[in-house]
Chains A and B, each alone.
Chain A
């Protein structure tokens, strides 16, 4: 009998709890109502600056005020040594700890001073002199100077260098890609580095490189303390020491990376925050829940479908990053029937790009007409887009001798990428579009790594892929994807057009940026005519923050400095 009573009590208790849970209303969080100043505008980065200027600069005492910012993302960093990784999640963190000679503007790829406050380029484009900030120290207390810069660049370029750690598996892939190889390679552009004095350094190039300054602003080429390289050796990837606004504190793998304010940061009054914690929350829905419950302040990688809800929600703010990528359907231009330009153009006309943009990106994408994001220098506004036109497609197919239709393989990628959140659905839409003009497409699927390998080797006919920018220069898009010398590597369309190659080469060597822009525009016109790929969309990745986060400006590269970010209250 007693048992029965206690069980009954337990049962009642649980019912009460459940009822209590139901009546609790969602916005019960008292903090959520305080941040009503921000509204939900996108990129509201400038607000709150006025009040922040006043915040005390007093040392020590102010420690209470900055607060801890928690930034949640989907995956962990690979390495905290920026030079030896190409991983965006790594650069997002290292960007706070280490700095490069130059920097990008907050919301674009325009160059601004970094560790070098000024620079000069010789007329022939073969010598770049950088004037370095004085009185800057690394987090370990050693001085930042020209010698440190030289050590870093030599470390990346020379596999034999004492700090290259080649035997420990270090490879500086980004350096090789951006500077044409390594020491001794034919295409390697940095011939020598001369330390003029402590605060002046000269880079002598073997041939002009139009995007040399863009490269210098990349977070992958940030300067590490040589003393730390000596001290930590190959463990430098877990012990980053730079000159940036935040110092590295600890890293629990697949969990969190903790950074704290560097009190002696070279810019007075920065950083505003005391601590930054980068959390890994792999599940998209869980990350949004954590943001709503106030456990985190910024969440990267919001699902575009959730954006509309977040935009309306009190206490949250929605941001978008500027377009820095594009997704495309590529054609193997050397395989019949895709070696015929009419067929490629026909397919390009047959694909309804707007439908793809609307269906999959919830409006956070624009239709692409060039293989280059619109904000880039040299973007060709005048390119004629291949507007959806099935009739025109059928005409072109008839011209090519395929009035009775044709069969073709369409490869699709297995993973979601920022430029392609749902490649499977894109493949289905393309397949249906092609069926309308009499082309029977068979969808072929491979795992991600084999997909990349096989498309590099040219086993495909049509394929779906995309590209993301990293140094903000057109060369990284156009040459990597469409220069004949990159066939068998990153040029997966096997597109070879001598005229285009010539233009891209000239643009790469030119120093005058306006001249380069013209050359790239010309190249895009030719490429569009040849239609080696059907460019689909440029996506604008969305992310959300609590409305307490002020001065946050997302950068198109996905890595932004958090030095000026503040927390309200």
Chain B
């Protein structure tokens, strides 16, 4: 097991090097230079030239790539062209924001999705099954931005139950410690604030979690149906176990393997691709960080941001692979 994890971690290196090469090339293929974008239409040619020079953009690409890689090897993610800040420091709050949102979105998706899938399989072809699967189909097909705006309209504007944007009450901001706001409020022992941050999480989590929830529900259902037909389940039933026990104790473990794969992939997708939700709910996460950087042609941020997202994605997949083993001891690596 340990050697397997080590092997996987070593294999990570060529993957990440490949990532840097691809992102570096793509980034420099986007037309337009950062100095021009930052200064806008009222810039003079001299101002653009000055800024370009100060950003080191008049070096040849290979030299720029070499500098980037050598910095990277020393653990230096580079400096943002736009904000002039160290990316390794600047990126942390974004990672924390995205991570917190992803965790809650996935909790929502897994809890609802797995249970809906199980009940659908159990009561196959019942009205619940039809309803749940219809709901799942709508969930998969629904544009995230539309769902998000509808949520805001109903729950923030019309009912006023939940906040429409952001991570905390703007009028009463908290001094962040870890930048995981729920955790921070607990560290501050400020439980009223914990409630506030949780309320801010509800709408974006649902918006973000709906598609994974629907996918998980469908996956759980089909996987569960498969397992329910297997011999060992018939045996357990024959022994006289109650249906609930059969499903949650015996069938679920085997049914979860493919579901786990989906969960892992979806988590990775959410971490990197929550740009729509993050934009509508003004959630300052990784997706927005990279998106803004693309708008401003902030090359170092695009490169390092994508690298970090890729890294997280690979790690999550590794974690999922390890979890397979915990769920199903028969799996050997």
**Genuine A/B complex:** yes
Chain B residues, CB < 8 A from A250: 173, 175
A279 at interface, CB cutoff 8 A = yes
Given A68, A295, A450, A456, which contacts B163 in the complex, CB threshold below 8 Å? A295
B322 to chain A, nearest CB (A): 33
Chain B residues, CB < 8 A from A279: 165-166, 170, 282
Bits for A115-127, please: 1 = Cβ < 8 Å to B, else 0: 0000000000000
Q: Do the beta carbons of B41 and A286 come within 8 Å of each other? A: no
Q: A453-B36, A480-B42 are in contact. Are A170 and B279 (CB under 8 A)?
A: no
Q: A252-B176, A489-B46 are in contact. Are A281 and B165 (CB under 8 A)?
A: yes
Bits for B12-44, please: 1 = Cβ < 8 Å to A, else 0: 000000000000000000111100111111111
Q: Do the beta carbons of B282 and A282 come within 8 Å of each other? A: yes
Q: Do the beta carbons of A290 and B160 come within 8 Å of each other? A: no
Q: Do the beta carbons of B173 and A256 come within 8 Å of each other? A: yes
B187 to chain A, nearest CB (A): 17
The interface size bin for chain B is 35 or more
Q: Do the beta carbons of B54 and A171 come within 8 Å of each other? A: yes
**Interface residues in A294-315 (C-beta closer than 8 Å to B):** 294-296
B55 at interface, CB cutoff 8 A = yes
Q: A7-B128, A290-B156, A449-B33 are in contact. Are A68 and B172 (CB under 8 A)?
A: yes
Q: Do the beta carbons of B153 and A289 come within 8 Å of each other? A: yes
For residue B46, which residue of chain A has the nearest CB?
A176
Q: Do the beta carbons of B282 and A76 come within 8 Å of each other? A: no
Given B43, B93, B280, which contacts A286 in the complex, CB threshold below 8 Å? B280
Chain A residues, CB < 8 A from B36: 449, 452-453
B303 at interface, CB cutoff 8 A = no
Please report the C-alpha to C-alpha distance between residue A275 and residue B284 in the assembled complex, in whole angstroms: 22
Q: A76-B292, A279-B282 are in contact. Are A465 and B163 (CB under 8 A)?
A: no
Bits for B200-226, please: 1 = Cβ < 8 Å to A, else 0: 000000000000000000000000000
Please report the C-alpha to C-alpha distance between residue A169 and residue B279 in the assembled complex, in whole angstroms: 29
Bits for B134-160, please: 1 = Cβ < 8 Å to A, else 0: 000000000000000100111111111
Given B33, B47, B170, which contacts A296 in the complex, CB threshold below 8 Å? B170
Q: Do the beta carbons of B90 and A255 come within 8 Å of each other? A: no
Interface-lining segment among B77-85, B100-108, B228-236: B77-85
Given B33, B94, B157, which contacts A293 in the complex, CB threshold below 8 Å? B157
Please report the C-alpha to C-alpha distance between residue A351 and residue B157 in the assembled complex, in whole angstroms: 42
B10 at interface, CB cutoff 8 A = no
Q: Do the beta carbons of B33 and A253 come within 8 Å of each other? A: no
Q: Do the beta carbons of A171 and B32 come within 8 Å of each other? A: no
**Interface residues in A230-289 (C-beta closer than 8 Å to B):** 234-235, 237-238, 250, 252-256, 258, 275, 277, 279-283, 285-287, 289
Please report the C-alpha to C-alpha distance between residue A256 and residue B93 in the assembled complex, in whole angstroms: 12
Q: A281-B282, A282-B279 are in contact. Are A86 and B39 (CB under 8 A)?
A: yes
Chain A residues, CB < 8 A from B167: 255
Q: Do the beta carbons of A29 and B160 come within 8 Å of each other? A: yes
Given B41, B163, B284, which contacts A255 in the complex, CB threshold below 8 Å? B284
B19 to chain A, nearest CB (A): 23
Q: Do the beta carbons of A447 and B32 come within 8 Å of each other? A: yes
B270 to chain A, nearest CB (A): 18
Q: Do the beta carbons of A465 and B41 come within 8 Å of each other? A: yes
Chain A residues, CB < 8 A from B31: 446-447, 449-450
Q: Do the beta carbons of A253 and B93 come within 8 Å of each other? A: yes
Q: Do the beta carbons of A490 and B173 come within 8 Å of each other? A: no
Q: A447-B31, A449-B31, A449-B33 are in contact. Are A289 and B152 (CB under 8 A)?
A: yes
Given B39, B42, B54, B83, which contacts A237 in the complex, CB threshold below 8 Å? B83
Given B39, B85, B152, B292, which contacts A254 in the complex, CB threshold below 8 Å? B292
Q: Do the beta carbons of A289 and B164 come within 8 Å of each other? A: yes
Q: A449-B37, A452-B41 are in contact. Are A280 and B47 (CB under 8 A)?
A: no
Chain A residues, CB < 8 A from B163: 293, 295
Please report the C-alpha to C-alpha distance between residue A87 and residue B44 in the assembled complex, in whole angstroms: 15
Q: A70-B171, A452-B41 are in contact. Are A254 and B284 (CB under 8 A)?
A: yes
Q: Do the beta carbons of B282 and A255 come within 8 Å of each other? A: yes
Q: Do the beta carbons of B164 and A295 come within 8 Å of each other? A: yes
For residue B292, which residue of chain A has the nearest CB?
A254
A298 to chain B, nearest CB (A): 12
Report which residue of A177, A237, A283, A488 has the largest number of chain B beta carbons within 10 angstroms of its beta carbon: A283
Q: Do the beta carbons of B149 and A286 come within 8 Å of each other? A: yes
A348 at interface, CB cutoff 8 A = no
B189 to chain A, nearest CB (A): 21
Q: A68-B171, A286-B282 are in contact. Are A177 and B157 (CB under 8 A)?
A: no
For residue A81, which residue of chain B has the nearest CB?
B84
Given A25, A70, A166, A253, which contacts B170 in the complex, CB threshold below 8 Å? A70
Chain A residues, CB < 8 A from B281: 286
Give 10 new A-B contacts, CB below 8 A, not counting A79-B83, A254-B94, A490-B43.
A68-B171, A168-B84, A237-B83, A256-B173, A279-B166, A280-B284, A286-B280, A417-B41, A465-B41, A466-B41
Shortest 4 CB-CB distances between A and B: which pairs?
A449-B32, A489-B45, A255-B284, A173-B47
- A: residues with CB less than 8 A from B are 3, 7, 21, 24-26, 28-29, 68, 70, 75-76, 78-79, 86-87, 166, 168-171, 173, 176-177, 181, 234-235, 237-238, 250, 252-256, 258, 275, 277, 279-283, 285-287, 289-290, 292-296, 417, 446-450, 452-453, 456, 465-468, 470, 480, 486, 488-490
Q: Could you list 7 A-B pairs, sorted by A, with CB under 8 Å? A: A173-B39, A253-B93, A253-B94, A255-B166, A281-B166, A289-B156, A467-B42
